[in-house]
Chain A
Amino acid sequence: MSTHSGTGTKATRGLGIIVLLMLIALAFFGLVFSAEDVVQGSTVRIMYVHVPAIWVAYLAFGLTAVCSAVYLSGKNRSLAWDRVAGASGEIGVLFVAVSLVTGSLWGRLTWGTYWVWDARLTSTAFLFITYIGYLAVRRLGGTHRQRARRSSVLALLAIVEIPLVHFSVNMWRSLHQSASVADPNAKVQLDGLMLFSLFLGLFAFTLLFVWLVLHRQRTLQLEDAFADRGLDAAIAARREEAVK
């Protein structure tokens, strides 16, 4: 066992510094350098956090699903995949929360209300609750293997049911602003610096996500190792008692 404390390495520390610098740059580009929107005014600046946050959330849940599938299909069923899935799921929940909060602040300024019963908002709320459930299942207890199997199956179920929820809520109602950058038919209406700020945000948040997952899966690994050692110690103690 190394005496190394913390979960950082040289590489992650370097990455962390880059992420920090990029976030500072994003703050400047988002708040100072980029212009106000013609229609939305300064509220458009929320977009530089809101859009990257939901992008990271989708990325995170995607990674959770991929790692869960790899865990279930792999021959040796390495728990490392399960831990990455779990770390990614936790961070995804965090970023969905960020996008819900920033989105409702933006809604308050633009639509005059924190919440509207729009299809995309509602299904994002369901996404949030679904993965809170996923995290709750991860904490059910039992062995690491039980946790890994249960949560992997659940993560794959979530990937199937979320489009269905989205589809049905869509059938229910829709009024969200359609995506303006990703739409291939629309000309990109964003001014150059705004677009740059948005992509800077996407890039910075993606790296932040990578940095968070690296650290979180290491703490999860340490938690698992700690639990195993506790069990081994308890077994050894009982054995000793029996020998006496």
Chain B
Amino acid sequence: MTNTSLRRRITFAVARKDLRIEWNSRVLVNQVAPFAAIVMVLFAFALDNDGILQRVAPGLVWLATLFSMLVVIQRSFSVESADGALDALRVAGVDPTAIFLGKSIALMVQLFALEALLVGTAFVLYNITMSPAGLVEAFVTMLTATAGLACVGTLYGGLAAGVRGRETLLPLLLLPVVAPVLIGATRAMEAAFGSGGAQVSEGWPWIGLLTVFAVLFIALGSVAFGPLVDE
């Protein structure tokens, strides 16, 4: 078997494993999604004005995504470190790049589901409307932003896994790095939602930024994940 096809098989095996664990435990559905929803309601309490909510809805969707992501990443690595599963994989000589890609894919699927829920919540709670072109743009934004977030999250989640104090360390490491995603995804989503009179066409350069971020961190993560988790 060639190296590439082996790596691909391991990647999908790891992704399937993570998603199956999630499917069986339902942490995302039972805990993270309600958390994200309550954050959206709390934003409404804090801002208490329909006009403002509509205007800032894209930013709120992505902020809620970032906060929920922290919880999901911690969950993704606590299932690994609980029984020393990650160490076992490494000792067994499993390709760290494949582990990285697999966990990123699983994280991406979960985050995408979460974002879809958050956008839906914004529709209902904040009274958003979208044109068909905006809908396509929102979808592409979510896709590119999520790819970047999942890779960066897996990379830093892996670093913080298995050490004391990781609960407080992860946000400190991760949030400064994902700033470009928050900026890009918010602007692109504003264009998609038409918030503040933005045109749909204004969003595409930001999607370019999101794509650059995603590609960069797929590459960086593939190289750096091994040395970071290798103990």
Contacts and interface: CB of A to CB of B under 8 A. Distances in A.
B224 A140 contact: no
Q: Which of B163, B173, B220, B231 has the most CB of A within 10 A?
A: B173
Interface in A93-149: 126, 129-130, 132-133, 136-137, 140-142, 146, 149
A138 B11 CA distance: 30
Interface string B191-231: 00000000000000110010011001000100010011011
A80 interface: no
Contact of B169 (A72, A140, A142, A164): A140
A168 B173 contact: no
Interface residues of A, number: 27
Given A133-B173, A136-B173, A160-B216, 20 more contacts: A129-B175, A133-B169, A133-B172, A137-B159, A137-B169, A137-B173, A140-B163, A142-B163, A149-B228, A150-B159, A156-B224, A157-B155, A157-B224, A160-B220, A164-B213, A165-B176, A167-B180, A168-B209, A171-B205, A172-B187
Interface of B: 155, 159, 163-165, 169, 172-173, 175-177, 179-180, 183-184, 187, 205-206, 209, 212-213, 216, 220, 224, 227-228, 230-231
Interface of A: 72, 126, 129-130, 132-133, 136-137, 140-142, 146, 149-150, 153-154, 156-157, 160-161, 164-165, 167-169, 171-172
26 contacts: A72-B227, A133-B172, A133-B173, A133-B176, A136-B169, A136-B173, A137-B169, A140-B164, A140-B165, A146-B231, A149-B228, A149-B230, A150-B159, A154-B173, A154-B228, A156-B224, A157-B155, A157-B220, A157-B224, A161-B177, A167-B209, A168-B209, A168-B213, A169-B183, A172-B183, A172-B187
